[in-house]
Copies of this chain bind each other. A is one copy, B any other.
Amino acid sequence: MAQSEPREPVSRQRAIRVAVALADVGGIESLSMRKLAAALGIEAMSLYYHVTGKDDILDGMLDVVYSEFATPRAGDDWRTAMRARAESTRSVLARHPWAISIKARTSPGSATLGHLDAVIGCLTAAGFSMPMTGHAMSILDSYVQGFAQQEATLPLDPSGDIGAATEDIMAQQTMMAEAFPNLAAMAVSLILQPGYAYGNEFEFGLDLVLDGLEAAHSAERAGG
């Protein structure tokens, strides 16, 4: 308190890191240029010295997320590497749920490009043809990303249980059973059973996809 710390200047990277932290806590809709600036100790318009606008920040935030994904290293077994990538993607997106909803951005950063580059390298090194590499990445990314979005949509409490939503469903159960008998049956005999958690569905689908890719890979090597 004796002398005011000459706080280091804001940088694009630091602004983006703080933006990520804010979004983690309050959700993406609570991230505004004014609030971000305040968190950095400056005024809103001063942010524009470091970034071109809010889109620039969102792009940077997404690149931060990509940098946290497990990236395959040269020589990794493809199936092990793809599984690790899928599971880390899921846990990273659980940590940064806002990333799912801003995923529809179109200017990738270098972490994003580096990650994709490593994935392609891993698959082609394992003998995947280029078209098969494209197939594999498309289905893996679609599945993992879609699952994460599905999971984020469900009215789950943090423990992964169906939690509070149970009551709502139960309250309307009579009506549900009439209008939507199959949905009611699934609720009663599966979803509301103790121990059921939607998150557990992830492994089934991931194994199915990896098994399918392994079969396609073997067929390709045998045939070509």
Binding site for B on A (CB under 8 A): 100-101, 103-106, 110, 113-114, 116-118, 120-121, 124, 130-131, 133-135, 138-139, 141-147, 149-150, 152-155, 176, 179-183, 185-186, 189-191, 198, 201, 204-205, 208-209, 211-213, 216
Contact = CB atoms under 8 A, between A and B. Distances in A.
A68 to B, nearest CB: 19
Contact of A104 (B131, B152, B191, B208): B152
Contact of A142 (B143, B179, B211): B143
Contacts of A143: 139, 142-143, 146, 205
Nearest to A204: B135
A105 B101 CA distance: 11
A135 B104 contact: no
B138 A182 contact: no
Given A146-B142, A146-B147, A149-B149, A116 B183 contact: yes
Nearest to A183: B117
Contact of A117 (B142, B146, B147, B180): B180
Nearest to A110: B179
Contacts of A152: 104
Contact of A209 (B103, B155, B198, B208): B208
Contacts of A208: 139, 209, 212-213, 216
